[in-house]
Amino acid sequence: MPQGLCFNGSAFILYLIAAIVDASSVTKELDSHNYNSWAASSFFAFVVTSCYAGNTYFSFISWRSRTLQ
């Protein structure tokens, strides 16, 4: 397997875990003036996770097309 696919796949898994932990830690009762900041960080964590998922998919497609030739 190419290095890019392994890197993107492992980064996707790690960012997914971090995004889930970040989203589960957002509570309104903890500190009301920081709620929007925590919610935004959770949203952007999932945006980055989806970017790594897409990059992993395209790396897989590229690797698969090279091995089929």
Q: Does the pLDDT of residue 1 top 80, yes or no?
A: no
Q: Which domain holds residue 64?
A: 2-29+36-68
Nearest in space to 12 (alpha carbons), one of 62, 55, 46, 53: 53
Cβ atoms < 10 Å from Cβ of 44: 12
pLDDT at 67: 74
Alpha carbon distance 23, 29 (integer Å): 15
Alpha carbon distance 27, 16 (integer Å): 19
Global model pTM greater than 0.85: no
- Looking at residue 8, its amino acid is N
Express each pLDDT in 5-49 by its tens digit. 899 999 999 999 999 999 998 877 655 667 788 889 999 999 999
Nearest in space to 19 (alpha carbons), one of 55, 47, 60, 58: 47
